[in-house]
Amino acid sequence: MNEIIPYLPKIFEGYATTARIAVLSILLAAVVAGVLGTLRVGRSRAVRVSTATGLELLRGTSVLVQLFWVYYALPLLPGGVMVDPAFAAVFVLGLNGGAYGAETVRAGLRSIPHAQGDACHALGLSRAVTLFKVRLPQAWSQIVPAFGSIAVDMVKWTSIVSFVTVQDVLYWGNTARAHTNETIPVYLLIGALYLLLCLAVAGIFRTAEYFLPLTRSVRAVRRAATAGALGGAR
């Protein structure tokens, strides 16, 4: 165990890299999911079909193969440029997370009764106002928990970025294991570090869910019902 101590600074430096890539990927995925999920419920059939096709292409191919394409294959194409490995990792993970998140956005928006959209149209509200002021505030209560699960998965997806020379926690963990032959302690440490990062991300999304407007409204209704039941019992 003492043999891996000299490698701990590099392992924790790699852990910071892993956390940074995870956070940036999740933020990109949130943007992609919001845009593509909204397009999936648009009125244009051509847009819906083309968006669905792109999402299936992303979800139906290996994340690792996509990462290899962006970092190794694209620079070989005519006009291709070499990209930074960390950028390639964030780009690929963000697109894939967004592809899965788009379905949660679509499902959340679909759960809102169509009658509300008709009422907004009758009141003369634009589609943008209807989306951002009426539909999304109600859909967040379904979107946020589901996207939180995807975000936790994305943290674990970052374990593949060392394949494109990103010096993350797994890269330095493997380096320490190769030089010390301390396989079990190294991988126990790496597993614990991933677990801590996953718990942190899950905690952030649970906190966000707690403060959602619809969640606060439900809690207020439950408190009122409880108070009323206690008052009636008296």
Average confidence score pLDDT of the chain: 86
The 10s digit of each residue's pLDDT in 102-155 is 999 998 888 877 777 777 777 777 777 777 777 777 888 888 989 999 999 999
pLDDT at 97: 95
Query: DSSP states of 39-72 as a string?
Result: HHTSS-HHHHHHHHHHHHHHHTS-HHHHHHIIII
14-166+188-228: CATH class: mainly alpha
Mean pLDDT check: name the lowest of 38-52, 116-130, 182-196, 203-217: 116-130
CB 119: neighbour CB atoms within 10 A?
A: 13
DSSP 8-class letter at 123: T
pTM for this prediction: 0.86
- pLDDT per position as a tens digit, 170-189: 999 999 999 998 889 999 99
**56 has pLDDT over 70:** yes
Q: Which of these ranges, 63-67, 173-177, 222-226, has the smallest mean pLDDT? A: 222-226
**Over residues 68-97, mean pLDDT:** 91
A 10 A CB-CB count for 149 gives 14
Q: What is the pLDDT of residue 215?
A: 61
Res 111: pLDDT: 81
Q: Where are the domains of the chain?
A: 14-166+188-228
pLDDT for position 84? 92
Residue 43: pLDDT band (50, 70, 90) is: confident
Q: How far apart are CA 103 and CA 77, in angstroms?
A: 32
